[in-house]
Amino acid sequence: MVLALSGCSSLLTGGAEDPEVKLLKVDVVKARLLKQDLKLRFRVDNPNDSSVLVRGLRYKVLLDDILIADGDYSDWFVVKANSHRNFSVPVRTNLWEHLKDVTRMLGKSDQPVHYRLEGKLKTGFLFGHSVRIGRDGDIIPGNLIPE
């Protein structure tokens, strides 16, 4: 029994090294006045010689310091050893409640708007572990307007 469990220890604990998590893309699925549906597309790279179980993701998305979305993604999947796996997280926002601030930010087409994604990827089974995710940068609103 101990030998069988030792072979699965990485699947149960998340492995020796943390997987690397990257935000690949943000897709706009539907944008309406009162709600916006987005998909955050991620890639999980597993540098370990054994599989890693992913149990979900807790996330926050901010524009400047305005929280525009937060939530949990709870689909489970396995990232095979020395491999990667992509997954998408559906996100719903309501920019209407922040319309004044967002309009002010986007109204200055040459001024950068700072964004930040924060989160925790939950891994492991019996001995759960969280991998912190952080990405931030700037969006230039004028670059988003087609010519």
pTM of the predicted protein model: 0.74
Q: How confident is the model at residue 142 (pLDDT cuts 50, 70, 90)?
A: low
Angle at 137 between CA 79 and CA 29, to 5 degrees: 65
Distance CA 103, CA 63 (A): 12
Q: What is the pLDDT of residue 110?
A: 77
- CA gyration radius, the chain: 18
| Chain length of the chain | 147
Q: What is the pLDDT of residue 100?
A: 84
Distance CA 141, CA 57 (A): 28
